[in-house]
Amino acid sequence: MKQLPGQPGEDACQPADRPAGPRATVHRVTAEVLESERLPGEHHRLLLRAPRIAEDASPGQFIHVWCHPPEEIDRPPTSAILRRPLSISRLRPPDGVEVLLRVRGVGGRILAGTPRGAQLDILGPMGRGFRMPPSMRTALVVAGGIGIAPVPFLVQRLAAALIETVVLVGAARDDSLPYHVERTGHQHATLPGLAALGAEVTFVSEQVDAILVSELLERRLPDFDAASTEIMAIGPRAMVKRIAAVAGGRLPVQVSLEERMACGLGACRSCVVPVTPHSNRPIGPGTAGFSLPEGLPPGPNRPTCPAGPTLDSSTPLGPEALAKGTRLFAPSYHTVCHDGPVFYSSEIDWEHLDP
């Protein structure tokens, strides 16, 4: 395989080198359900005893949950065959890992019916979480809908690192989230339960405020110093895409992406997303990376580096083009489960990402 420009560390167009997000050893544990609580808005909270996962977890990582009793793992189930990915919502010392789920499908219903004292077979912590580079003094966390699930853990860690944290939360209605909404005067609402963890929290609902959280972010953006603020966005695909579009040129934006998953370990490639040639993330097992076979036959080549010549699939790939220094990139993909779920927005090829 011929290695082309664009390998990590070689591309003049890459953003400044960013520290890789944390990715700890993945443990497989049988976790006791310590608490199982139904919450408003078809949500459910599970507190699991999982000391090794609690010790190694960082915000933005998730657990991969087998929905059936652990002893049935070798018996093919008739429903919920795959594990379900759930963000680590909060750590409860000394050894508790909490998840928050919106109960929609069969897997969610089975998990929500798991009583206290039962056991669950879980893998974790999985994936790479949010980065907290030393230059970051302020974190602007933007969450939509069930994207709020990992926010408490994130706020706790940001507060512990003495990083000023501003959280903007959006939902369809005031009662869409399992949080008490407090509205005072003409100001936007807040979520006291989240604010108590150490953040300034603003909540907007489409029903009452007639505004999307991405629009609120656009209004607030000028208040933040571009050199010391990073945005962390978690929510529906359309929301994180919009945030990357409105803020990505001004501030670093980290996005947590969701994709349907099978193995959760980077092996089956069910969960790939297209990435730009600027992505300098160390690639995981089975990830394509930036390379083309010897002999360079065609293939979709995308415009790449603003500093150099670019080409598309109609450009002839003769020696002349190569001699001019034209840069070629194979389409590349990273896995959400192993390389993500958190990426810098500049790493994602938004144009080719499925809606």
* Contact between 65 and ligand FES per CB under 6 A: no
Distance separating alpha carbons of residues 285 and 269, to the nearest angstrom: 10
| φ/ψ bin of 29: left (φ > 0), alpha (ψ from -120 to 50), beta (otherwise) | beta
| Helix (H) or strand (E) segment spanning residue 217 | helix 213-220
Give the contact letters, 241-280, x = binds to ligand FES (CB under 6 A), - = no: --------------------xxxx-xxxxxx---------
Distance separating alpha carbons of residues 122 and 191, to the nearest angstrom: 30
189 is in the binding site of which of ligand FES, ligand FAD, none (Cβ under 5 to 8 A by kind)?
Answer: none
CB 56 within 8 A of CB 125: yes
Token representation of residue 43: 């949500």
258 is in the binding site of which of ligand FAD, ligand FES, none (Cβ under 5 to 8 A by kind)?
Answer: ligand FAD
Least separation in angstroms between residue 259's CB and ligand FES is 7
Q: Which residues bind ligand FAD (CB under 6 A)?
A: 62, 80, 82, 84-87, 99-102, 104-108, 146, 149, 258-261, 341
> Helices 213-220 and 237-247 sit at what angle, rounded to 10 degrees?
20
177 is in the binding site of which of ligand FES, ligand FAD, none (Cβ under 5 to 8 A by kind)?
Answer: none
Least separation in angstroms between residue 40's CB and ligand FES is 31
Residue among 31 and 337 whose Cβ is closer to ligand FES: 337
266 is in the binding site of which of ligand FES, ligand FAD, none (Cβ under 5 to 8 A by kind)?
Answer: ligand FES
Least separation in angstroms between residue 252's CB and ligand FES is 25
Least separation in angstroms between residue 73's CB and ligand FES is 18
Distance separating alpha carbons of residues 62 and 237, to the nearest angstrom: 18
CB contact set of 351 (below 8 Å; sequence gap of 6+): none
Residue among 202 and 335 whose Cβ is closer to ligand FES: 335
Least separation in angstroms between residue 202's CB and ligand FAD is 21
Residue 152 — φ and ψ, nearest 5°? -60, -45
Distance separating alpha carbons of residues 303 and 132, to the nearest angstrom: 31
Cα Rg of the chain (Å, integer): 21
268 is in the binding site of which of ligand FAD, ligand FES, none (Cβ under 5 to 8 A by kind)?
Answer: ligand FES
Peptide linkage before 341 cis (omega within 30 of 0): yes
Least separation in angstroms between residue 273's CB and ligand FES is 10
* List of residues contacting ligand FES (CB under 6 A): 261-264, 266-271, 335, 337
